[in-house]
Amino acid sequence: MRTETIAAIATAMSSSGIGIIRISGEEAFDIIDKIFRKKSGKKLKEKKSHVVHYGFIYDGEEKIDEVLVILMKGPHSYTAEDTVEIDCHGGVLMMKRILETVIKYGARPAEPGEFTKRAFLNGRIDLSQAEAVIDVINAKNQYALKSSVSQLSGSVSQKIRELRETIIYEIAFIESALDDPEHISLDGYNVRLRNNLIPMEREINRLLESSDDGKVMTEGVKTVILGKPNAGKSSLMNVLLGEERAIVTDIAGTTRDVLEEHIRLKGISLNIVDTAGIRDTEDIVEKIGVDRARNVADEADLIIYVVDASRPLDENDRQIKDMIHDKKCVVILNKTDLLQVVTKEELEQETGKTVVPVSAKEGTGIDLLEKEIQSMFYHGEINFNDEVYITNVRHKAALEEVKQSLNMVKESIDHQMPEDFYSIDLMNAYEQLGLIIGEAVEDDLVNEIFSRFCMGK
pLDDT on residue 6: 97
CATH superfamily of 6-110: Probable tRNA modification gtpase trme; domain 1 (3.30.1360.120)
| pLDDT value at 253 more than 60 | no
Share of residues in the chain with pLDDT > 70 (%): 84
pLDDT for 225 equals 85
Q: What is the pTM of this model?
A: 0.67
pLDDT of residue 424: 93
pLDDT, tens digit (0-9, with 9 covering 90-100), for 257-313: 445 677 776 667 778 876 655 555 555 555 555 667 677 778 788 888 988 888 888
Does the pLDDT at position 142 exceed 80?
A: no
The confidence score (pLDDT) of residue 444 equals: 76
The model's confidence at residue 204, banded by pLDDT at 50, 70 and 90, is very high
Domain 130-215+392-451 has CATH 1.20.120.430: yes
Q: What is the pLDDT of residues 333-366, one digit of tens each?
A: 988 888 888 889 988 888 888 899 988 888 888 8
List the domain boundaries for the chain.
Answer: 6-110, 130-215+392-451, 220-377
Residue 285 pLDDT? 52
Q: What is the pLDDT of residue 151?
A: 75
SS3 annotation, the chain: CCCCCEEEECCCCCCEEEEEEEEECCCHHHHHHHHEECCCCCCHHHCCCCCEEEEEEEECCEEEEEEEEEEECCCCCCCCCCEEEEEEEECHHHHHHHHHHHHHCCCEECCCCHHHHHHHHCCCCCHHHHHHHHHHHHCCCHHHHHHHHHHHCCHHHHHHHHHHHHHHHHHHHHHHHHHCCCCCCCCCHHHHHHHHHHHHHHHHHHHHHHHHHHHHHHHCEEEEEEECCCCCHHHHHHHHHCCCCCCCCCCCCCCCCCEEEEEEECCEEEEEEECCCCCCCCCHHHHHHHHHHHHHHHCCCEEEEEEECCCCCCHHHHHHHHHCCCCCEEEEEECCCCCCCCCHHHHHHHHCCEEEECECCCCECHHHHHHHHHHHHCCCCCCCCCCCCCCCHHHHHHHHHHHHHHHHHHHHHHCCCCHHHHHHHHHHHHHHHHHHHCCCCCHHHHHHHHHCCCCCC
Residue 57: per-residue pLDDT = 96
Asked: is 220-377 a CATH 3.40.50.2000 domain? The reply is: no
Residue 248 in this model has a pLDDT that exceeds 50: no
Mean pLDDT of the chain, nearest integer: 83
Give 202 or 218, the one with higher predicted confidence: 202
More confident residue, 454 or 106: 106
Q: What is the mean pLDDT of residues 354-380?
A: 81
In this prediction, residue 265 carries a pLDDT of: 67
Range picked from 62-76, 145-159, 432-446 for highest mean pLDDT: 62-76
Report the pLDDT value the prediction gives residue 383, as an integer from 0 to 100. 53
pLDDT of residue 287: 58
Name the more confident of 98 and 134: 98
pLDDT at 174: 92
